[in-house]
Structure 1
Amino acid sequence: MRFIVNILAIIGLIAVIGAGVGYSKVNGMLLESGISINDIKSLTSELDPKAMEMYANFAKKFMVDKDPGDAMVWKFPVDEDVSVDDVKDSLKSLATDRDFLFVGESPFYKQVEAVTGKPYRHISFLSFCDARVGVLMAEYNYAYTAFMPCRIAVIEDKQGKLWLYSMNLDLMIYGGKELPPELKAGAIKVRDTILAIMEGASHGEF
């Protein structure tokens, strides 16, 4: 939660600095968290040009539900006439068309049923990978392998409606210092591919 508070404080501070007001008050609040305005100014000058826009969008989403989970994902409602099997087949087909390799499915609902002995609504995780971009990520920073492979969750909610969820990659792409050009271009391509296949599959496209 402190991470979220600090992000919101930083975003608010940028607005304050831009307006030229409230410097002392905001600086005092940040110092309590071990952060100074000079630290923020230095930090923002080193970040990706779209970093503050990304953090502002994160803050807007967070303020709606007060839940970092909702702020950190993309989600698409699936059309009512699209079945679970259709939406999964659609994801695989659209990924293949874009050279985005399907590497496996984890049927979470089956694991729940095996453990509890009771039926459970559909929740499964489909994994995809672009090996070329994956290599660039791994060579740049091993921590980025935590984002691999890319996963799309197919969720049936308590009302029986289907949804698609995936991790918002903007934090990885824009949230820190600017990535090397080749890696950034590849990461943006993967980002755009995930969004495209999620949107298409939500309508049952092939």
Structure 2
Amino acid sequence: MKTIWNLLALIGLLVVVGTGYGLYKAWPTLSELRPALAKFEPGTFDPKFTEVYLDFAKNLMESMDPGIAMTWSVPVKEGIGVEEVKDSLKSIATERNFLFVGEAPFYKQVEAITGKPYRHISFLSFCDAEVGKMMADYRDAYTGFMPCRIAVVEDKQGKLWLHAMNLDFMIHGGRELPAELKKEAIRVRNVIREMMNRAAVGDF
């Protein structure tokens, strides 16, 4: 019995020492965060704030890659070619009153530099100018999300994928957006998801 008590006492001591050391190491960072924490108002965050970051944490732990965790990725159905996918994306964009801004054929730039063939990687840009204006008027930094981009990528095994930045971080990842802006941002988000999902199966 005495041995068990001694063991428990040792474990308790290690926990105390470990906690103290952790606080010692973290104190400089906590001190830097103090001004921000003083302004912290939980009630101002978007209702889906916690859900978005829990999903991100789950994806990050599974992939161990922040790029994967912050990206929507949709595999393209076998038998559907690059040009068919692009035409589908453009067609659905037109259907949803999205402007096709242009395409950046990244693979051609790589081939021009290296002089060697490269797998297909291109970036298609789309925009809803009215929503873009609302975003820019609300916060200049949001222009960094514009225009909406969908990457058409042939992976190293030759399979086609569609990738796009997860817009949920912009919409739900902080202070709740003004009602009208939030509604339009969610609409844009849903259109991008629809474009990816439909184009991936060859739907026009």
Structure-1 residue corresponding to 2:151: 153
> Structure 1 residues 40 and 77, CA, compared in 2 at 3 Å: closer, same or farther?
farther
Structure-1 residue corresponding to 2:71: 73
Q: 1:31 Cα deviation (Å)? A: 4.7
Quick one: distance in 2 between partners of 1:185 and 1:177?
15
Quick one: distance in 2 between partners of 1:141 and 1:42?
20
* Cα deviations by residue, 1:4-23 (Å, 9 ceiling, x for unpaired): xxxxxxxxxxxxxxxxxxxx
TM-score, reference length from structure 1: 0.82
Question: Secondary structure of 1:33's match?
Answer: helix
The answer to whether the aligner puts 1:33 opposite 2:29 as a matched pair is yes
Q: 1:114 Cα deviation (Å)? A: 0.5
**For residues 1-206 of structure 1, what are the structure 2 equivalents within 5 Å?**
28=23, 31=27, 33-34=29-30, 35=33, 39=37, 42-206=40-204
* Cα deviations by residue, 1:178-204 (Å, 9 ceiling, x for unpaired): 001111111100000000000000001
Question: Secondary structure of 1:135's match?
Answer: helix
> Structure 1 residues 103 and 125, CA, compared in 2 at 3 Å: closer, same or farther?
same
Quick one: distance in 2 between partners of 1:43 and 1:59?
22
Gaps of 5+ in 1: 1-24
* Cα deviations by residue, 1:97-134 (Å, 9 ceiling, x for unpaired): 00011110000000000111000000000000000100
TM-score, reference length from structure 2: 0.83
**How many residues in Structure 1 have an aligned counterpart in Structure 2?**
181
The structure number with the bigger radius of gyration is 2
Quick one: distance in 2 between partners of 1:202 and 1:174?
26
Quick one: distance in 1 between partners of 2:175 and 2:191?
23
- Alignment identity in percent? 60
> Structure 1 residues 60 and 40, CA, compared in 2 at 3 Å: closer, same or farther?
farther
Quick one: distance in 2 between partners of 1:134 and 1:89?
24
Q: 1:93 Cα deviation (Å)? A: 0.4
